[in-house]
Amino acid sequence: MNDIQQDSGGQDSGTEGTAAMQPDAPIASTATAGDTASDQTAPPGDASESRREPTVGVHSDPSDCIELRRLHRFFGDTRAVNDVTFSVGRGQVFGYIGPNGAGKTTSMRILATLDLPSYGDAFVDGFSVVNDPELVRKRLGFMPDSFGTYRDVNCREYLDFFARAYGLVGRQRTRRLQWVLDFTGTSGMATKPIRGLSKGMKQRLCLGRALVHDPAVMILDEPAAGLDPRARIELRRMIRELADRGKTILISSHILTELAEMCDAVGIIEQGQLLATGSVDQIQSDTQNRSELTLRILNRHDEILTCLSGLDENLTIDNPILDGQFVRFGFSGNMTDQAAIVTHFVTQGFHVAEVNAHKKSLEDLFLQVTEGLVQ
């Protein structure tokens, strides 16, 4: 007389007897989220949601390799991660940015199965970090921001140990070790003790350790912290190469210019909350539509600011700065409005020699999105 309730904790759409996948169901109502939380408490204000019937915990989109679903992590009264939801597609590089203490490392540690959410769940390749951590670990390579090493162990022995710990045997292990040593450029120091390595070499070794079992997903927490420019460039090359090999990468860094070059999408987190997510362009279009323009005008310099004030009020020109032949100002509008501004100057008899529209960098975007909340 077996009595097995179907589902409520499963995360596979193919589960026999489970309810059909409900991609439109409110994500807060998943059993995996509510029931698996370490303290089993719904976040304040979510009591009604937590009582709802569970749905099957599976990706809403099977192409997503990483998914955070209403993730919360509380430390006493501190909300380190507060209702964070996003997903990363297979083969994408996702930049996770935010000021110190924003909750990046906590979310990454939860994804790496090193910590448990207070509420919500996270999935790697469809497997819950709460319910099936051992299956997640097989698919995941994690490079923490700081990591310990062993005494009296050289680089090869270190990697060999982790290869064994991931269950690699025989020639498979030997081949993999050699590949990792070659890829990370540590072949030359395979027999050197780890304790004597430089910071950059240790970072390479740590990346090698995370790669040793050929995971599909990599989580890199501040991999470039403390590295010199050359080492950073090398690391960037390696990460890009890994992405080209089809690995899904979640990376956090404070060096936003580097992330902008590497990432297909970014998520901006502050005070535990995800403020924006998507590609840089997407975030830019989602956030306030402000642009900056610099014009080089060859004549009538003393009349330029007067001319600017004569523009359509809807464009809300701000912070005009006149510097010799150059005038720089911000305005709210799109490319058509930009063309209208230039046309306005030309029709007024100004000789416009150059037009420079400034595309916002990730740093600008970060400051804009986190404005008012930083500090």
Partner 1 sequence: MTTVAPTIETEPASADSNWLAWLDRWCERVGDAINPILVKETRQSLKSRQFVVTFSMILFAALAWTIAGSLSLMPQIYTTPSAPRMMIGYYAVLALPMMMVVPLAAYRSLESEIDDGTLELLSITTLSPWQIVMGKLASASLQMLLYFVTLFPCLAYAYSLRGVDLPTTLLVVASLAVTGLLLTVIGLFFAPLARGRSGRVATMLVLIFLLVLAEYGISSMVVGMILYGNPLSPPELLFTVLATLALAAALGHLLLTATAAQLTPETENRSTSLRLSLLVLTTICVATMVAGLLVLGNRAIPVYIGGLVVIAGLWTFCGALMVGERSTITPRIRRELPSSFLARLFLTWLTPGPTTGLVFAITGITILASMQYASMDWVMRAADVSGAMRRQFQRVVGLPAVLFSAYLICFLVAVRAVMFVVRLRNNPRVEVGVAALVVVAVMAALVPYSMQLHYNDYQPLTYDPIWQVTNWVFTMGTAVDRGLPAGVTERIVGAAVCLSLLSCFAAWQTTRPRRIATPRRVQEELRRR
Alpha-carbon distances, residue 236 vs 13, 111, 132, 204, 218 (angstroms): 36, 22, 31, 11, 14
Nearest to 66 by CA among 287, 219, 288: 219
138 φ/ψ angles, rounded to the nearest 5 degrees: -65, -25
Minimum separation from the CB atom of position 318 to partner 1 (A): 47
Minimum separation from the CB atom of position 118 to partner 1 (A): 8
Minimum separation from the CB atom of position 36 to partner 1 (A): 5
For partner 1, the closer of residues 209 and 247 by Cβ is: 209
Length of the chain equals 375
Count of CB atoms within 10 A of residue 157's CB?
15
Minimum separation from the CB atom of position 272 to partner 1 (A): 16
Minimum separation from the CB atom of position 69 to partner 1 (A): 14
Tokens encoding 95:
């930049």
For partner 1, the closer of residues 7 and 64 by Cβ is: 7
For partner 1, the closer of residues 19 and 355 by Cβ is: 19
For partner 1, the closer of residues 131 and 277 by Cβ is: 131
Contacts of 333-342 spanning 24+ positions with Cβ under 8 A: 333/289, 333/291, 334/289, 334/291, 338/291, 338/293, 340/312, 340/315, 341/293, 341/311, 341/315, 342/295
Nearest to 137 by CA among 167, 107, 112: 112
The whole-angstrom separation of Cα 209 and Cα 163 is 8
The whole-angstrom separation of Cα 312 and Cα 336 is 13
For partner 1, the closer of residues 28 and 297 by Cβ is: 28
Which residues bind to partner 1, rule: CB under 8 A?
Answer: 1-12, 14-18, 31-32, 35-36, 38-41, 74, 76, 112-114, 116, 126-127, 130-135, 137-138, 140, 142, 144, 146-153, 157, 161-162, 164-167, 169-170, 173, 209
For partner 1, the closer of residues 166 and 326 by Cβ is: 166
Minimum separation from the CB atom of position 161 to partner 1 (A): 4
Minimum separation from the CB atom of position 327 to partner 1 (A): 55
For partner 1, the closer of residues 24 and 77 by Cβ is: 77
β-strand partners of 121: 69
